[in-house]
Amino acid sequence: MSESAYKEMWENLNLDIAAHDGLLEVLGKFYGDIYMTQEGRLKGMEYLDFVLSEVHGLRIKELMDAKAEGKKIIGTFCVFVPEELSLAVDAVQVGLCAGADAGTEAAETIVPRNTCALIKSFIGFKMAKICPYTESCDLIIGETTCDGKKKAYEAFGEMAPMHIMEVPQRKEASDRILWKSEVLRLKDKLEEVTGKAVTAESLKKGIKIVNDKRRALQRLNKLRAAKPTPISGRDVLLINQVSFYDDPIRFTQSINTLCDQIEERIAKNEGIVPENTPRLMLSGCPMAVPNWKLPYIIEGSGAVVVAEESCIGTRNSRDLVDESGETVEEMIDALCDRYMKIDCACFTPNNERMDNIKALAKETGVDGVIHYSLMFCQPYTHEAFKVEKTLAENDVPMLAIETDYSMEDVEQLKTRIEAFVEMIS
């Protein structure tokens, strides 16, 4: 499709074309610097490069085509929103722009300055009219995973069609009941918005598609941890990011193809970096596109990231939905069980996360962990203390980083990360 046809599409979405052009230019440059400079990349990454180059183009065109066919677009900001249900009503679910400083000044007129960068970003993208995903949505699903999002959605909801899911804060029987009622309320809402019913057949298909995506990511997460490391941490982060945007079936196929190539590389004992390169886990807050700052600094400091313990990482793919259900009721229960396994810092206690981090550190044989919190993210900054303690008990060193989307602290972060890498080398 030509650039002018895209422009027309963006205009129809009521984007601020000049501001959006500026964003794409920065994004392209940033991607080039961080991704295209890498050596020895797998052929399968060309697919990801293409997806990223068309992230506001071809993929949006697909969404528009889907809308023309009567499908609805459902936007989300969180792994608690079951894509299975959106697929079961023949809708397309996409993650929304939240990974770059955009419209921050405008955002700060409706949410406090001491709000995390991710929240200010999605508010800013909306106010600046530069996220074609947000503007394509027929419905945006928020959730109560943190105070910042919970309250920001009230302001966001005045600008966009929203539905809020309440995520419980503990994992007792009564929380499971609340969560099930919220999953059912979402089902009703999706049926209302799409005019289509969730059936046993459509839900079974939705569950299979999303599980297959998770299986591909699980396969990737296992393979990436080989020694020597066959793929850069940046590339795997990108794949996890794209898993929220791309068509799930096409994505799964592409990642499985990539995994075949990784297996070939492993068989030849080839790595993207020397075998003795310090291996790190990134743990903590999600990194939405194009938030590649920290992995770029880490992998420029002589280390390699071999595990992502985050929502845009293992937290989103670790658990499958049980596929044995036959009725809608049974499958809804299976969905509820699976989503209540998420070890988000919104829960208290959240000991599962400590267990999962310990296990992941062991499985992937990391030399250290970098815990990443968005500044002002209370759930993850609090849990960083617990993670550090847990890892220390297992003789895994940890560095706690708090940052945002600005580039002001890059030099300072480099210094700290280089010192950490040196320490664990």
Q: Residue numbers of the site for its own copies (CB under 8 A)?
A: 110-112, 114-115, 144, 146-148, 150-155, 164, 166, 168-170, 172, 174-175, 177-178, 181-182, 345-346, 348-349, 375-376, 378-379, 381-386, 402
Nearer to its own copies, 105 or 154 (CB): 154
Q: How far is the CB of 162 from its own copies (least distance, A)?
A: 11
- Side chain identity, residue 71: K
- Side chain identity, residue 236: V
CB atoms within 10 A of CB 84: 27
Distances (CA, A) of 154 to 102, 114, 135, 148: 20, 17, 18, 10
Which candidate, 137, 140, 135, 138, places its Cα nearest to that of 10?
135
CB atoms within 10 A of CB 273: 19
Which candidate, 405, 376, 381, places its Cα nearest to that of 293?
405
Nearer to its own copies, 150 or 205 (CB): 150
Burial of 110 (0-12, 13-18, 19+ CB in 10 A): middle
CA distance 291 to 381: 18
Nearer to its own copies, 70 or 112 (CB): 112
Nearer to its own copies, 153 or 292 (CB): 153
Nearer to its own copies, 128 or 374 (CB): 374
Which candidate, 99, 102, 94, 107, places its Cα nearest to that of 140?
94
Write down the residue that tokens 């939905």 correspond to.
321
Nearer to its own copies, 138 or 166 (CB): 166
Q: How far is the CB of 354 from its own copies (least distance, A)?
A: 11
Sorted by sequence, the CB contacts under 8 Å of residue 29 that are 6+ apart come out as none
Q: How far is the CB of 389 from its own copies (least distance, A)?
A: 10
Q: How far is the CB of 119 from its own copies (least distance, A)?
A: 10
Which tokens is 289 given? 């596109």
CB 45 within 8 A of CB 258: yes
Q: How far is the CB of 327 from its own copies (least distance, A)?
A: 22
Q: How far is the CB of 122 from its own copies (least distance, A)?
A: 14
Q: How far is the CB of 350 from its own copies (least distance, A)?
A: 8
Write down the residue that tokens 């847990």 correspond to.
390
DSSP letter for 158, please. T
Q: How far is the CB of 382 from its own copies (least distance, A)?
A: 3
- Side chain identity, residue 84: E
Burial of 378 (0-12, 13-18, 19+ CB in 10 A): middle
CB 155 within 8 A of CB 123: yes
Distances (CA, A) of 159 to 139, 162, 304, 311, 397: 12, 9, 41, 26, 44
Nearer to its own copies, 73 or 345 (CB): 345
Nearer to its own copies, 223 or 384 (CB): 384
Nearer to its own copies, 139 or 152 (CB): 152
Nearer to its own copies, 3 or 158 (CB): 158
Q: How far is the CB of 175 from its own copies (least distance, A)?
A: 7
DSSP-derived secondary structure for 211-247: HHHHHHHHHHHHHHTSSS--S-HHHHHHHHHHTTTS-
Which candidate, 226, 304, 307, places its Cα nearest to that of 269?
226
Write down the residue that tokens 């060309």 correspond to.
46
Q: How far is the CB of 85 from its own copies (least distance, A)?
A: 18
| C-alpha Rg value of the chain to the nearest Å | 21
